[in-house]
């Protein structure tokens, strides 16, 4: 037996991918789906009156849907240089009573394209369920942290306060859009159906001796048997339009941008020591620096998301160069790009779930940073308080301006702490509001409607979006990461 470590293996499947997504793009799933399509075609043809398709042939086909002899198929493909005909032969060997009617009237794209559409749909079902779990977990985090004041940043420079929960809602909102996009891409998937070599259904029209309505019934019946009732593409070339792949992968690449943004925010906050991803008891952050707690899961999300984001370029370029009824330069690219998009999105979602469900917030670090910046932000409050006590607004502004610049010099030039509040306390001019300073500096008075925005967002937007998936949420399990 050959050593699997002696040849290259894709890290997507050998290192990261979930068992269910890897299985969805396995040879067993692909070629098993081909055989199911051949069975459905034969069943529909028999039902519509095509002679020579026996019940015994159908029974043999059904009994051998997953009994795939890959050695037989490989030998035939080496001889014929055609993967579909190799598997037609292998299926015929397993079901000899059906050998003469397997693939009757069909072109290769009957199985390759239709199987792809089934596999893509199943992949998106898996991804949607995992995305729903991530949204639900992150919404719970936002709810818990709805009123925890934290310093906001614009341009990664200190800005007005927000809350930890409100910031999380920014992430959730983008994930809700990704859920919408994925649902739309999934629901928009149609079925190529039985369209013949250039999409004209000429072979099936000949098979039914010119009966157009029988050809239409065949198309509809095979689609229904395959779970695409009433959803065949009305016109095709030899393949279904590769524009469909663009819509499908675009939803996944767009999610990659969201995941990268979330993981980047977490990495920035980890550097500030305000927020951390989960860190296991025996985890090593650095081989040299034993104290380090690197945000390696978030870094993995960013790394894989970059790959996910660029894969849409492959399907865009493929769709743009499909000459006339088709060209085969789509095939090799699609075998790589679309499975990798689904596998990568799957891995990113599992890692994101793991991070979200283990986020650690450090309120004391957050409070210290607020204390270092809030005095400058509170100066307008000081001015308003002095005016209410009879002070002159312009004079007060000048007094606080001078003290602010002095405090800023201590911070920037001397490396000291922000002592603006102590300067205000010592300044006789501000004596009327000295007793009010603590209240004027309460961080909870600087967060505006952030907690209420969290409540309204979760109630009016998140809950309705997740309602159709209550069973998925109820049965969710912690994400399992391979490494």
Q: Are 203 and 196 in contact (CB under 8 A)?
A: yes
Please provide residue 360's backbone torsions phi and psi, each rounded to the nearest 5 degrees.
-120, 125
Based on its alpha-carbon atoms, the radius of gyration of the chain, rounded to whole angstroms, reads 31
Of the candidates 168, 171, 155, the one whose C-alpha atom is nearest the C-alpha of residue 450 is 168
Of the candidates 247, 414, 433, 431, the one whose C-alpha atom is nearest the C-alpha of residue 338 is 247
Please, is 447 exposed, middle or buried when counting C-beta atoms within 10 Å of its C-beta (0-12, 13-18, 19+)?
A: buried
Distance CA 171, CA 234 (A): 39
Print burial letters for 375-413: b (CB count within 10 Å at least 16), e (below 16). bbbbbebbbebbeeeebeeeebeebbeebbeebeeebee
Sequence-separated (6 or more) residues with CB below 8 Å from residue 79: none
Angle, nearest 10°, between helix axes 27-47 and 55-63? 170
DSSP class of residue 204 equals: H
Of the candidates 289, 265, 259, the one whose C-alpha atom is nearest the C-alpha of residue 354 is 259
Q: Are 182 and 207 in contact (CB under 8 A)?
A: no
Looking at the annotation, which residues are catalytic?
A: 155, 286
Q: Are 98 and 57 in contact (CB under 8 A)?
A: yes
DSSP SS3 for 191 = strand
Degrees (nearest 5) of the Cα angle 411, 372, 296? 105
For tokens 């927000």, the residue is 162
Q: How far apart are the first and last CA of the chain?
A: 27
The H or E element spanning position 476 is none
Distance CA 32, CA 181 (A): 29
The H or E element spanning position 272 is none
Diameter of the chain measured on Cα atoms: 106
Please, is 8 exposed, middle or buried when counting C-beta atoms within 10 Å of its C-beta (0-12, 13-18, 19+)?
A: exposed
Q: Are 378 and 440 in contact (CB under 8 A)?
A: yes
DSSP SS3 for 361 = strand
């Amino acid at each position: 037996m050959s050593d699997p470590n002696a040849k290259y293996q894709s890290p997507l499947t050998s290192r990261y991918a979930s068992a269910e997504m890897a299985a969805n793009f396995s040879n067993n799933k692909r070629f098993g789906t081909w055989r199911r399509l051949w069975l459905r075609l034969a069943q529909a043809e028999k039902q519509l009156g095509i002679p020579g398709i026996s019940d015994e042939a159908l029974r043999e086909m059904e009994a051998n849907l997953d009994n795939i002899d890959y050695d037989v198929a490989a030998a035939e493909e080496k001889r014929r240089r055609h993967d579909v005909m190799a598997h037609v032969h292998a299926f015929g060997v397993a079901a000899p009573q059906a050998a003469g009617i397997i693939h009757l009237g069909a072109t290769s794209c009957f199985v390759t394209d239709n199987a792809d559409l089934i596999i893509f749909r199943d992949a998106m079902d898996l991804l949607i369920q995992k995305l729903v779990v991530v949204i639900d977990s992150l919404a719970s985090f936002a709810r818990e942290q709805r009123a925890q004041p934290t310093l906001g940043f614009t341009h990664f420079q200190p800005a007005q306060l927000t809350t930890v929960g409100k910031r999380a809602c920014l992430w959730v909102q983008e994930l809700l859009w990704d859920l919408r996009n994925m649902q739309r891409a999934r629901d928009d998937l149609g079925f190529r159906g039985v369209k013949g070599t250039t999409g004209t259904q000429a072979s099936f029209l000949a098979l039914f001796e010119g009966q157009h309505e029988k050809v239409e019934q065949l198309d509809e019946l095979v689609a229904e048997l395959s779970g695409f009732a009433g959803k065949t593409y009305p016109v095709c070339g030899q393949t279904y339009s590769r524009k469909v792949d663009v819509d499908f992968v675009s939803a996944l690449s767009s999610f990659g941008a969201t995941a990268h943004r979330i993981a980047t925010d977490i990495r920035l906050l980890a550097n500030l020591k305000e927020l951390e991803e989960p860190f296991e008891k025996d985890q090593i952050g650095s081989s040299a620096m034993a104290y380090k707690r690197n945000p390696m899961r978030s870094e993995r999300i960013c790394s894989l998301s970059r790959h996910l984001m660029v894969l849409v370029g492959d399907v865009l370029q493929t769709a743009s160069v499909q000459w006339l009824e088709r060209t085969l330069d789509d095939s090799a690219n699609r075998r790589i790009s679309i499975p990798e998009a689904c596998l990568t999105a799957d891995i990113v979602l599992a890692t994101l779930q793991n991070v979200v469900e283990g986020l650690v917030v450090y309120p004391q670090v957050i409070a210290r940073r607020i204390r270092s910046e809030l005095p400058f932000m509170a100066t307008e409050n000081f001015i308003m308080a002095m005016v209410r006590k009879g002070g002159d607004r312009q004079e007060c502004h000048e007094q606080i301006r001078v003290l602010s610049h002095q405090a800023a010099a201590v911070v920037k030039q001397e490396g000291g702490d922000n002592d603006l509040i102590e300067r205000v306390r010592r300044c006789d001019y501000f004596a009327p509001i000295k007793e009010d300073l603590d209240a004027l500096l309460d961080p909870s008075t600087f967060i505006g409607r952030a907690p209420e925005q969290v409540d309204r967002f979760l109630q009016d937007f998140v809950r309705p979006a997740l309602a159709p998936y209550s069973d998925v949420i109820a049965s969710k399990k912690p994400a399992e990461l391979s490494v």
